Structure 1
Amino acid sequence: MTHKKTMINTLLLAALFGGASQAHAADVPAGTKLAPEQVLVKGNGSEPATLDPHKTEGTVESNIQRDLFEGLVSSGPKGEVLPGVAESWETKDNKHFVFHLRKDAKWSNGDPVTAHDFVFAFQRAVDPKTGSPYSWYMEIPTIVNASEIIAGKKPADTLGVKAVDDHTFEVQLEKAIPYFVSMLSHTTTYPVPKKVIEQFGDKWTQPGNMVSNGAYQLKDWVVNERVDVERNPHYWNNAKTVINKVTYLPIQSTNAELNRYLAGEVDMTYQMPIERFKQMKKEKPDELKVTGYVGTYYYTFNTKRKPYDDARVRTALTYAIDRNVIADKVMGQGQTPSYALVPDFVDGFKPVAPEWSKLSQAELDAKAKALLAEAGYGPGNPLKFELLYNTDDNHKKVAVAVASMWKKLGVQVSLVNQEWKTYLETLKQGQFDVARRGWIADYNEASSMLDLMQTTHGNNDGKYSNPTFDKLMDESRDQVDDASRNKLYAQAEEILAKDMPIAPIYQYVTARMVKPYVGGYPANPLDNLYSKDMYVVAH
């Protein structure tokens, strides 16, 4: 998939001339007959670990939070930057940004949303006391003092953010980051209600306690059963919202989810069971939605454990994965083989395929055996390890296929699966050999993928560290023009191809079933779906 989006260009124009784009809301075509009951039921993969925007690191949580909260900007149907709480913004140098907040933005309890709420939220995100797994996200665009605060060297109130008045919010960066505004639709940058958090502490996200500023508010949360959100009457654009209630179901089994969809219990699935994709394509082609996705599925090596601290072992295991088989035969939904961290679908950068990607699988297997032998592994001393993945039918199928490919090298693999929350904790503690990972860009730019491999990145689970790579990514933030940044990105990918801290497997697509009566479903390259953009047609 090589068609490009216009997000960065839109962003640059908005950044230079002030954001004043079309408001984000359901766009119901004239003459559409709406269903009397505007309720949406979505499959959501797993039980959310949290609903706190500053404690979140997964898509399961973000899906719900996009309904509950709204940041300074939103992500449009095609990934374009749209105004959120900020109705306009400007910058003269891509370092100092001024956001003008809409005066009718309110919390679900009726209180106004102010610039002070964003100051509190940004400071809370970087404060070590919060323990945010995404605190690094504020460090990436070089918000003044973010790195020092995260490292515990400066207090949170020294962060480069300021409320000039109730409706003017300023951010000061250390470097010129032209794509900064596009980063601000991410959950980590959402405002949170200070007085509610001070009153309830960690329990502020429970039903009855939670106050949010998005198109919806939390109604109910039954653990391992459902999360219900309903219209927030105080939302500034509530008049344009159509869906009244959304239910999120944590269904881990893709087969069970599809069965419930076919039985009419679910309106949109989270994903698709691999083995039933062709059947659905044949029987319900209009309901099967497959769109490009800025993300890569990969396995990460624990570089702090022997022998995965040895690049020869990592490279051998990476070479032995037949990506064509995984993409075409195991997945078969439009995924393409991946040989690098950055997918082809990203905006503004075309990854260069590494040399090894041009070899046949037989040649790669031969190289892999030689590398393992060089590292001291063979028939007399087979490499044995555990492959960790989070509970999911599709992840299991990939793991079984890859384990059989590794077996040809004489490698003995034990498969270990854990439910989502436990799996995240295991990764965080570094208690794994090799683990399943996937990374979806937080904003449509190559740095959102490559930054993952920086030494200080909070989601660098394999603890890979290369000072040259870090320096390149740091230098990329000094480049205002795309060509200069892309040159550094290409060099960064070359280092990854040499060090092989991860084994890229395939480039994502989103494949899900959507009922024909669900209107407003977008082809968003980041899969940023907002229920407020959708509506239910009479059926």
Structure 2
Amino acid sequence: MIRKPSLIALAVIAAGAMSSQVHAAKVPAGVELAAVQQLVKGNGAEVATLDPHKTEGVPEANVLRDLFEGLVTSGPNGETLPGVASHWETTDNKIYTFHLRKDAKWSNGDPVTAHDFEYSFKRGVDPVTASPYSWYFEKATIKNAKAIIAGTTAASELAVNAKDDHTLIIELEKPLPYFVSMLYHTSTLPVHKATVEGKGDKWTRPGNMVSNGAYQLETWTVNERIVLKRSPQYWDNASTVINQVSYLPLQSQNAEMNRFLADEIHMTYEMPIEHFKRLKKEHPDSIKVTGYVGTYYYQFNTKQKPFDDVRVRTALSYTINREAIANFILGQGQTPAYSFTPEIVDGFTPAPQAWAALSQKERDAKAKALLAEAGYNKDNPLTFDLLYNTSENHKKVAIAIASMWKKGLGVEVKLENQEWKTYLDSKKQGNFSVARAGWIADYNEASSMLSLLESDNGNNDGKYNSPAYDELMAKSRKTTDANERANYYQQAESILSQDMPVAPIYQYVSARLVKPYLGGYPNNPLDNLYTKDMYLIKQ
């Protein structure tokens, strides 16, 4: 999905309407609620923005899921459930009709209409908005999105149209059976037109923001906390339990852990890897480890020498001992990654790559030969900067890998850390040689991972460009046959293994500390958490 600073069956309705469901907090019979329903969460980093069309990271998405609601939402187990749209239908997986709830309202009391979604989708794809996720609308194959992004067609021509206040019609270029599952992503959230256009860049500030989710923005103290309060206008407010939620931008996992143990926060963003075994022993009821559809990797700037040389990229990738990173440096259940698509993704299992079957000693030998062939040796050592966003966990991984490169290849690496927002900008501008990165699927399908490395993807910061890879991904969107699509994905993974534009390191798990008395914590494989699903139990 999304850049991370630190399995579902796609619930797509091919024909007929989906009935309305609710997935807000369900308090079991006999559970006594705490008198004070105020949740405090660690959030990893200070958010870069709260504009849904200008975000690209997990910290931002965490807050936006509470502030805004899209046509659909992600259920506790990752299932696709109705949001503002109570139901929808399609007969051909190409034209989708969404029926909006008549009681959905913005936080200022205005009704949420199909016109709001039409405006928002067109704003998200408009080059004037400069959304880092405009490409998402093209990958969703919404008609005319590609031409709009290219600047050859007006944003008004995007095939998202309000038939009336409560009926939205979206037309795709070609059938896409998993389309509905793409619509709980932050780029598809609605924004309030009058507020956006009336307040300009200040529309996301407290006192200005108008949102349509279960919560509304109360205060935002930069580098300290964001506080949201329950929105009485939300259509399902009666089912919401928690009255206030605070997000703390704690970049230090140790500081976050200490605040959790001091009962100052209820849920951490992550936990310090060196304390995991102790915490598991001393606080077993507070450990939450779940599968997570995402990959941690190092990205090469393929437009910068010598990383335009596949031999250099491959040598560096081969030398990373993934088993050591996953099992000893981390040790929370992460899996060594030899493909970009994680094995947990729904409906697709990446084929083992040949180099993955080699022993680490054999990989090291091949790596040394490749680097020598590229002109680097003891007399002419390879030197470069490794960029990562500020995090103790990222630093530990970077130190370990830099040591592997030094020992195995004689490579000299300078570690450079930057704050989240600066790091994102550096990557976007191409101001890096090799950078730590993480990608979390936006929806549970292999294309949500693989599309990142297409040449026209706005988040392809390493500027990898392979016509053969692009063609395979284009073909995958033209078929409705799952087996044929999986075959294209296998071929795409093989190309990545040969070109090595990124070095996959491990497959994520979601590992954090959660108070045992926080009820409603879900087992969501995309880590899509909604505060409205949770409740605090009396101690």
Q: One fold, TM greater than 0.5?
A: yes
SS at match of 2:285: coil
1:16: how far off? 2.1
Preserved contact between residue 115 and residue 166 of structure 1 (Cα < 8 Å): yes
Equivalent in the alignment of 2:120: 121
Tell me if structure 1 keeps the 8 A contact 2:225–2:246: yes
> CA contact under 8 A between 1:24 and 1:74: conserved in structure 2?
no
Sequence identity (%): 66
Q: Which residue of 1 aligns with 2:377?
A: 378
Q: Which residue of the partner structure matches residue 221 of structure 1?
A: 220
1:159-189 deviation digits (Å, cap 9, x = unpaired): 0111000000000000110000000001100
CA contact (8 A) 2:294 2:341 kept: yes
Q: Determine if contact 1:107/1:113 at 8 Å carries over to the other structure.
A: yes
SS for the counterpart of 2:280 is: helix
Per the alignment, in what secondary structure is the counterpart of residue 77 of structure 1?
coil
Q: Which amino acid aligns with 1:431?
A: N
Distance 2:232 2:185 in 1: 23
Determine if contact 1:24/1:84 at 8 Å carries over to the other structure.
no
C-alpha separation between the residues in 2 aligned to 1:344 and 1:27?
32
Aligned AA (1:35) = A
State whether residues 440 and 449 of structure 1, in contact with CA within 8 Å, keep that contact through their aligned partners in structure 2. Answer: yes
Contact kept in structure 2, 1:443 and 1:526, CA below 8 Å: yes
Matched, 1:272 2:274: no
- Residue 6 of structure 1 deviates from its aligned partner by 4.0
Distance 1:6 1:416 in 2: 37
Residue of structure 2 equivalent to 1:299: 298
- Give 1:96's aligned residue: 95
Q: Residue 485 of structure 1 aligns to which amino acid in structure 2?
A: R
Amino acid at match of 1:505: I
Contact 1:292 1:525 survives alignment (8 Å) = yes
Q: Quick one: distance in 2 between partners of 1:527 and 1:64? A: 13
Task: Find the residue that maps to 2:203 and give its secondary structure.
Answer: helix
**One-letter code of the match for 2:308?**
D
Tell me what 1:478 maps to.
478
Deviation per CA, 1:356-403: give whole Å up to 9, x if none. Answer: 000000000000000001100001110000000000000000000000
Match of 2:262 in 1: 263
1:325-344, Cα deviation, whole Å (9 max, x unpaired): 00001011000100010000
In the TM superposition, 1:355-394 aligns within 5 A as 355-394=354-393
Matching residue of 1:431: 431
1:7 aligns to 2:9 (yes or no):
yes
Alignment match, 1:252:
251
Following superposition, the deviation at residue 479 of structure 1 comes to: 1.1
Question: Which consecutive residues of structure 1, in runs of 5 or more, have no partner in the other structure?
Answer: none
Tell me the distance in 2 between the aligned counterparts of 1:407 and 1:41.
Answer: 42
Q: Look up the match of 1:529.
A: 529
Where in structure 2 are the equivalents of 1:103-502 lying within 5 Å?
103-408=102-407, 409-502=409-502
Q: Which runs of 4+ in 1 moved over 4 A?
A: none
State the Cα distance separating 1:19 from its structure 2 match: 2.2
CA distance in 2, matches of 1:470, 1:534: 41
Q: TM-score, normalised by structure 2?
A: 0.98
Give deviations 1:121-159, integer Å, cap 9, x for gaps: 000000011010000110101101101111111111000
Q: Distance in 2 between matches of 1:208 and 1:295?
A: 36
Q: Considering only aligned residues, what root-mean-square deviation do their CA atoms show, in Å?
A: 0.6
TM-score by length of 1: 0.98
How many angstroms apart in 2 are the aligned matches of 1:225 and 1:319? Answer: 41
Aligned equivalent of 2:3: none
- Conserved? CA contact 1:15–1:89, under 8 Å: no
CA contact (8 A) 2:21 2:86 kept: no
Q: CA deviation at 1:17?
A: 2.4
Letter in 1 for 2:310: A
Contiguous gaps of at least 5 residues in structure 2:
1-6
Hey, what's the Cα distance between the residues in 2 that align with 1:72 and 1:24?
14
Once residues 423 and 353 of structure 1 are traced to their aligned partners in structure 2, the CA distance between those partners, rounded to angstroms, is 32
Contact conserved, 1:296 with 1:506, CA < 8 A, in 2? yes
CA positional deviation for 1:59: 0.3
How far did 1:21 drift? 4.9
For 1:483 and 1:141, locate their aligned partners in 2 and report how far apart those are by CA, in whole Å: 20
Secondary structure class of the residue paired with 1:17: coil
- SS of the equivalent of 2:218 reads strand
CA distance in 2, matches of 1:108, 1:21: 22
| Alignment partners' CA distance in 1, 2:219 and 2:517 | 25
Alignment coverage as a number of residue pairs: 532
CA contact (8 A) 1:287 1:515 kept: yes
- 1:29-40 alignment runs, 5 A limit: 29-40=28-39
1:9-88 paired onto structure 2 within 5 Å = 10-11=11-12, 14-88=13-87
Provide Cα deviations, 1:101-139, integer angstroms capped at 9, x if missing partner.
000000000000000000000000000110100001101
Q: In the alignment, is the contact (CA less than 8 A) between 2:340 and 2:504 conserved in 1?
A: yes
Provide the secondary structure at the position in 2 that maps to 1:233: coil
